[in-house]
Amino acid sequence: MENLENVKKEALHLLKELIRIPSLSKSEDKTADILQALLKEKTVDTHRKGNNIWAFHRDYDSSLPTVMLNSHHDTVKPNQGYTIDPYNPITKEGKLFGLGSNDAGGCLVSLLATFIYFLGRPLPVNLLFVASAEEEISGKGGMESLIPELPEMACAIVGEPTGMKMAVAEKGLMVVDATVKGKAGHAAREEGVNAIYEALDDLIAIKGFKFKKVSPFLGPNKVSATIIHAGSQHNVVPDQCTYTLDVRVTDAYSLEEALKELQQELKAELHPRSLRLNSSHIDEHHPMVRAGKSLQLETFGSPTLSDQALIPYPSVKIGPGDSARSHSPDEFIYIEEINQGISIYINLLETYFSILNQPKK
């Protein structure tokens, strides 16, 4: 059995190692190697698919429920605002700087430390650790490719920087390509139908658009026009205008329902790029939510997307760090946030286990 202080020290050392190695989405092979090697050092059997790593804390027992501890080890590209080397883990004033330190390295190493802490301890569940790839791009080689390989789960804890607040709901994402048709003509004469002007009606409608249903956890859906293209020559009336919509969908809607409601209000032909990234919501009476509330963890609905969207089982999102620091220049996480995160994860699971062991009424 591992000592708590030792697993905290190992977690910080591991995070520094991970920061040193570039792990952009689809290129996480070297960080996957490190994670797999560490688990093997702990005499844990590991599995790998692509750059995804997973392991059970003991031999899988099909008679027990499964709880997954998941975070991702890919990062976005470092932006132009960095004033330090993004791949040099610097500690200063209680902070650890480096690309991926906050999103989501701190969560990843904290969950792995929690998993290691429980090694050798008898548990009423199959505890499963998953380090997923391609989360930052919602890639098909990440969590989506893993789900068929894994058993059904009673619950998943998804590690993302939430300040250790517990997200019990998360908005889904639908990216929609819209096409408005006009008719070409010469710009100097009253010819044609200008597709840009036709699209203006849609854009004005989108600016003030309100979906009919509102989620008690996540509020209203949100739709934003983010890209627009039209025209090829200054003297030709464009016969087509395309624009892109970013649609954040709550648990009050399926993606298909949200698309249908939009289509009823817009002239454009709407074509969703994907209907994969669904919203999520866990029942307030679920044992994991009850465990969080008994520890007085604040619950909320998250507007940002994570691997929760691809997990078809009850899940909560919680982790050390601050979402506002994600993808920012000179990214950092407080070392104490990691230490506290590990302690809270352990307490959360122990409370969850005690709830599971309570006699059923």
* pLDDT tens, residue by residue, 336-351: 999 999 999 999 999 9
Mean residue pLDDT of the chain comes to: 95
pLDDT at 361 over 70: no
Q: Tell me which of 357 and 57 has the higher pLDDT.
A: 57
Q: Compute the average pLDDT of residues 134-160.
A: 96
For the chain, percent of residues with pLDDT exceeding 90? 91
Report the pLDDT value the prediction gives residue 114, as an integer from 0 to 100: 98
Q: Compute the average pLDDT of residues 194-219.
A: 94
Digit-coded pLDDT (tens) for 58-73: 999 999 999 999 999 9
pLDDT at 357 over 90: no
Digit-coded pLDDT (tens) for 246-266: 999 999 999 999 999 999 999
Report the pLDDT value the prediction gives residue 216, as an integer from 0 to 100: 86
Report the pLDDT value the prediction gives residue 351, as an integer from 0 to 100: 98
Q: What is the pTM of this model?
A: 0.89
Q: Compute the average pLDDT of residues 267-295.
A: 95
Report the pLDDT value the prediction gives residue 85, as an integer from 0 to 100: 96
Q: Compute the average pLDDT of residues 118-126.
A: 95
**In three state form, how does the secondary structure of the chain look?**
CCCHHHHHHHHHHHHHHHHHCCCECCCCHHHHHHHHHHHHHCCCCEEEECCEEEEECCCCCCCCCEEEEEEECCECCCCCCCCCCCCCCEEECCEEECCCHHHHHHHHHHHHHHHHHCCCCCCCCEEEEEEECCHHHCCCCCHHHHHHHCCCCCEEEECCCCCCCEEEEECEEEEEEEEEECECEECCCCCCECHHHHHHHHHHHHHCCCCCCEECCCEECEEEEEEEEECCCCCEECCEEEEEEEEEECCCCCHHHHHHHHHCCCCCEEEECCCCCCCEECCCCCHHHHHHHHCCCCEEEECCCCHHHHCCCCEEECCCCCHHHCCCCCCEEEHHHHHHHHHHHHHHHHHHHHHHCCCCC
Report the pLDDT value the prediction gives residue 190, as an integer from 0 to 100: 73
Report the pLDDT value the prediction gives residue 198, as an integer from 0 to 100: 93
Q: Compute the average pLDDT of residues 163-176.
A: 95
Q: How confident is the model at residue 326 (pLDDT cuts 50, 70, 90)?
A: confident
